[in-house]
Structure 1
Amino acid sequence: MDKPRLSFWQIFNISFGFFGIQIAFALQNANVSRIFQTLGASIEALPVLWLAGPITGLLVQPIVGHFSDRTWGPLGRRRPYFLIGAILSTLALFVMPNSPYLWVAAVTLWILDASINISMEPFRAFVGDMLPSEQRTRGFAMQTIFIGTGAFLASLAPWTLTELFGVSAEAPAGVIPDAVKYSFYIGAVALFLAVGWTVVSSKEYSPEELKKFKEPPGLFRDERLEARAERGAGHYLRSGGGFLLAGLVASWAVHRFDAVATLYILTGGLAVLGALLLFHAGFKAASKTDNFLSHILTDLDAMPLVMRRLAVVQFFSWFGLFIMWVYATPAVTAHHYAALDPTSIAYNEGANWVGVLFAAYNVIAAAWAFVLPVIAKALNRRAAHAINLVLGGLALASFYVITDPTWLWVPMIGIGMAWASILTMPYAILSDSLPAAKMGVYMGIFNFFIVIPQIVVAGLMGPILAYVFDSQAIYAFILAGASFGVAAAALAFVPGRRKVAEAGTSEAVAPL
């Protein structure tokens, strides 16, 4: 039985909640560095303070994906998580701009990011649940349209409130300006209403109905990959011991050579992964693998080939994006406005202009999302994504060359095209290689390769900026552009129809 095609308005309804989620996400991206610097954070400390996003994503999304795959109730499978995340995010948005101290803002960011992730992760799986293969590019593109529109309005909010409504963009030292506060309040209401619309206007397929639909032909049927799920305790014992030892030795090296403390983020992460694998080895040996940890690690080990290759693309794409989000305000205010004091008029003008630039690339992304399905059909999803990443990389690097801040809207075109593609193409490619029963957990695991590069940025960019780039944030944009180029090149190794067939998949594979 084929999964029914949905109408335009049905796709609209299942995607509209992303409009509100992205409002919250964009307010965070455009204003959190500003809030942290206003409350006394140094530029070198910004990546560590931003760790809330990647770490909560790393923890929350696979957990939510795992449990949403197994949830069914009056609100369905994914919608309970939409609603819970929306309520918590709304509350955090009201608290964030009223933080009296830096530590309060940092803690609130953790809560906000976790809440956004609770809502956001099931939305990706929701498209896979509801749409047949041939409509999935359109479905993820619709999400991208709402992401771009929501981010455009949210990023522009402080500038709009200041320029059109006279709300102050200045405040005493250590106080968040009213323009930022009111933007967060408006965003909180918009988030709740948008997610609420999807909850009340959408109807989900039950687990029984999903089982009746034909799965899109995909790589999860590759017997060599399925065999990974049957690996014994010895495999995980060796892997866990290796990661744990590597993490401990690397941590000792950081301590021994008095390296930058943020490197413990990376070395500690390796050690934790090793410890989890050792726990899983123990469960395997005792034949007690019906637990959350074992399910996640087994699914991680048995990822489809497409997902493994796309992981590299995602890593370098989001490495560049996170650099841009963290360093846009300090780079533009210092390089283009010659302002280093967060309380100065020039700094706040530059910070507001960053919000306008972020709005520009997001509205371009929303518009470009209408075109992406056409390009993907004319070429293929991989080629379309590679072209957009190259354009985005060139645009990021051009920030160094452009000296007049007025002209920074030009590279926003390329960044917007790349952003639209990053939000659409990897998920359209991936969803056809995943079984319906594991759509949520694999979408959550796929998020690892979004948040791990962010953790790498948090651990390494502070020292790199201080010791290599002399604390000049503008050089980070060149590195971000190069990272996009690597991501584009990595797409050449993601299997297409012919290569997948040669890899031993048992049946034809949908176009990638």
Structure 2
Amino acid sequence: MDTKQPGLNFWQIWNVSFGFLGVQFGFALQNANVSRILSDLGADLHSLSLFWLVAPIMGLIIQPIVGAASDRTWNRLGRRRPYILAGAIAAAIGMVLMPNAPLFVALMTPMIFGAIMLALMDASFNICFQPFRSLVSDMVPPRQRNIGYSVQSLLINIGAVIGSILPFLLTNVIGLENTAQLGEVAPSVMWAFYIGATVLLGSVIWTVVRTKEYAPKEYNYYKDVADEPMPDTKQSMGQRFKGFLKLVVNMPTTMKQLAVVQFFSWFSLYIMWVYTTPAITQHIWNVDKKWFDPDYLSTLAVIPQEIVLAKGAAGDWVGILFAAYSVFAAVFSVFLARLADKFGRKLVYSLSLLAGGLGYVSFLIFQDLTPTNVDLLITEVTVPLGAVKLLLPMVGIGIAWAAILAMPYAMLAGALPPQKTGVYMGIFNFTVAVPQIVAGLFSGLILSAVFDNEAKYIIVVAGVSMIAGALAVFFVKEPDQPVTVHE
């Protein structure tokens, strides 16, 4: 049991993770709207998954590099905070530029410019993500690890709720236009990205200002690490790469076992983020798959207004659904630490993934085209009844998302050597990036070759994968048992 490192009060734990609210705000805007933006700019269903490969590739490259660098960094801002701040600034720039892709047509096609801005945003988000994970591990003592990562999950989901629903609010409350012809971006989406950039930067600055990291001697004392000279920063690239490969080969057993769970979980999430918009548009709004084919669209002088309106309404409703699963995740996050303390992390983690998998599979049974008036308190909208029924699967998906954000990191943190936490958290991101790369390479092929571009069926594939992840949890051996702390 750790006794050296002082415990943190609730607001100290809150401040450590508060910047993640803004980072996830931006990430949620990206997840809910990038497929919509790229489709409007000219991408077909098959190529959508390939464009989205930018995200995991950026994570695969950047997070280990940033993790290793932050392990070696001690300056006036601290150890992790310099990278968090730099990533937030770059992400904000990308968020402002991406929806303005049509303005840069003189330099390159809008779709290519949009893809480049997606790469910039993802690279920047990854620069933020990894140090934030390590910051919690650095600052929160092991006995508070469950609550620390649960608060982080709560803040992530608060940001995700607001980010997901923002374009809908701007359309239905403020009155901004939510439709766009081919080669354009809807005004509601543009302004959502501007607001997201502001929130991201502001919340990260809050964490940077309100959190004081431990000095090297304090950190080493609290983590039982012998005072050592800083690593040789003049090593050749070959030496560094050799050392990195050694770390990968010798990664803790718990990390290897969690990697299997992560593969099935993130394979599912990638499919959801890429294909929910076309799946909902086709399955719930009854828009034929031909309206997602750029070759067919190029033969038309103008896209029929009813198709434009249906795509806009479906895109907005995807924001509502993503906000809904984030709300359910945020609520579940409040209870997650207590449940993990009482029943064990593995059981809670496994049942959470099972709930998510069943949620994905159930997408098939909720088609109902009956127009229904929905009172969302802030506004009323008319949508197909099937769209409303899809809120039910979001409960299970939200439970799974909350667990994915917290449980693997809580289980892993106790298995990592403190002096290598940053680099190992970066290496652990391989288990997030690789399954997304696999999904990006093959999900589009599966969709076109097996399901004839009927996007609802690829969502079912995501459900089967998530259920496999739930089973894989039981093969993970934790290095220690959590210490229960009652506030």
Both structures adopt the same fold (TM-score exceeding 0.5): yes
Given the alignment, which residue of 475, 478, 481 partners 1:510? Answer: 481
- CA pair 371-92 structure 1, distance change in 2 beyond 3 A: same
Q: Partners in 2 of 1:462 and 1:392 — Cα distance? A: 22
Indicate yes or no: 2:18 matched with 1:9.
Answer: no
Given the alignment, which residue of 121, 140, 146 partners 2:155? Answer: 146
Q: How does 1:39-188 map to 2 (within 5 A)?
A: 39-100=41-102, 101-188=110-197
1:14 maps to a residue whose letter is V
1:220 aligned partner: none
Deviation at 1:213, TM superposition (A): 1.8
1:313 maps to a residue whose letter is V
1:348 maps to a residue whose letter is G
1:482 aligned partner: 464
User: Cα deviations across residues 133-191 of structure 1 (Å, max 9, x unaligned)?
Assistant: 11111111111111101010010011001111111101333110100000000000000
Given the alignment, which residue of 459, 477, 482 partners 1:495? Answer: 477
Indicate yes or no: 2:388 matched with 1:386.
Answer: no
2:253 aligned partner: 305
1:294 maps to a residue whose letter is K
Higher mean C-alpha displacement, 6-15 vs 331-340: 331-340
Report the 3-state secondary structure (helix = DSSP H, G, I; strand = E; otherwise coil) of the residue aligned with 2:364: helix
1:407 aligned partner: 389
Q: How does 1:354-503 map to 2 (within 5 A)?
A: 354-403=318-367, 404-496=386-478
Given the alignment, which residue of 316, 323, 343 partners 1:352? Answer: 316
Q: Partners in 2 of 1:370 and 1:302 — Cα distance? A: 35
Q: Partners in 2 of 1:298 and 1:208 — Cα distance? A: 27
- CA pair 66-367 structure 1, distance change in 2 beyond 3 A: same
1:296 aligned partner: 244
- CA pair 490-127 structure 1, distance change in 2 beyond 3 A: same
1:448 maps to a residue whose letter is F
Deviation at 1:492, TM superposition (A): 1.1
Q: Partners in 2 of 1:88 and 1:289 — Cα distance? A: 26
Report the 3-state secondary structure (helix = DSSP H, G, I; strand = E; otherwise coil) of the residue aligned with 2:390: helix
Deviation at 1:453, TM superposition (A): 0.5
User: Cα deviations across residues 396-419 of structure 1 (Å, max 9, x unaligned)?
Assistant: 111111111121111111100110
Report the 3-state secondary structure (helix = DSSP H, G, I; strand = E; otherwise coil) of the residue aligned with 1:291: helix
1:409 maps to a residue whose letter is L
Given the alignment, which residue of 168, 188, 205 partners 2:214? Answer: 205
Deviation at 1:510, TM superposition (A): 3.0
Report the 3-state secondary structure (helix = DSSP H, G, I; strand = E; otherwise coil) of the residue aligned with 1:171: coil
1:439 maps to a residue whose letter is T
Report the 3-state secondary structure (helix = DSSP H, G, I; strand = E; otherwise coil) of the residue aligned with 1:75: coil
Deviation at 1:215, TM superposition (A): 5.1
2:272 maps to a residue whose letter is M
Q: Partners in 2 of 1:117 and 1:88 — Cα distance? A: 11
8 Å Cα contact 2:40-2:180 kept in structure 1: no
Structure 2, gaps ≥5 residues long: 103-109, 226-234, 293-302, 368-385
2:481 maps to a residue whose letter is A
8 Å Cα contact 1:314-1:487 kept in structure 2: yes
2:31 maps to a residue whose letter is N
1:242 aligned partner: none
Structure 1, gaps ≥5 residues long: 217-286, 501-508
Indicate yes or no: 2:201 matched with 1:192.
Answer: yes
2:351 maps to a residue whose letter is I
Question: What percent identity do the matched residue pairs reach?
Answer: 46
Deviation at 1:289, TM superposition (A): 8.8
Deviation at 1:290, TM superposition (A): 7.8
**TM-score, length-normalised on structure 1?**
0.82
1:394 maps to a residue whose letter is L
1:261 aligned partner: none
Structure with a larger share of its residues in helix? 1
Alignment length (residue pairs): 431
8 Å Cα contact 1:14-1:126 kept in structure 2: yes
Q: Partners in 1 of 2:139 and 2:166 — Cα distance? A: 33
Q: Partners in 2 of 1:327 and 1:316 — Cα distance? A: 17
User: Cα deviations across residues 65-93 of structure 1 (Å, max 9, x unaligned)?
Assistant: 00000000000000000110011011110
8 Å Cα contact 1:434-1:442 kept in structure 2: yes
1:276 aligned partner: none
Q: Partners in 2 of 1:295 and 1:68 — Cα distance? A: 16
Given the alignment, which residue of 25, 30, 33 partners 1:23? Answer: 25
Report the 3-state secondary structure (helix = DSSP H, G, I; strand = E; otherwise coil) of the residue aligned with 1:99: helix
CA RMSD of aligned residues (A): 1.5
- CA pair 290-74 structure 1, distance change in 2 beyond 3 A: farther
Q: Partners in 2 of 1:362 and 1:477 — Cα distance? A: 18
8 Å Cα contact 1:215-1:435 kept in structure 2: no
8 Å Cα contact 2:71-2:421 kept in structure 1: yes
Q: Partners in 2 of 1:103 and 1:370 — Cα distance? A: 41
2:262 aligned partner: 314
Q: Partners in 2 of 1:83 and 1:323 — Cα distance? A: 30
2:370 aligned partner: none
Q: Partners in 2 of 1:51 and 1:349 — Cα distance? A: 26
- CA pair 7-290 structure 1, distance change in 2 beyond 3 A: farther
Deviation at 1:292, TM superposition (A): 2.6
1:233 aligned partner: none
Q: How does 1:324-339 map to 2 (within 5 A)?
A: 324-339=272-287
Report the 3-state secondary structure (helix = DSSP H, G, I; strand = E; otherwise coil) of the residue aligned with 1:339: coil
Q: Partners in 1 of 2:52 and 2:266 — Cα distance? A: 14
Deviation at 1:51, TM superposition (A): 1.0
Q: Partners in 1 of 2:258 and 2:346 — Cα distance? A: 10
Q: Partners in 1 of 2:181 and 2:311 — Cα distance? A: 14
1:469 maps to a residue whose letter is F
Report the 3-state secondary structure (helix = DSSP H, G, I; strand = E; otherwise coil) of the residue aligned with 2:182: coil
8 Å Cα contact 1:210-1:436 kept in structure 2: no
2:191 maps to a residue whose letter is Y
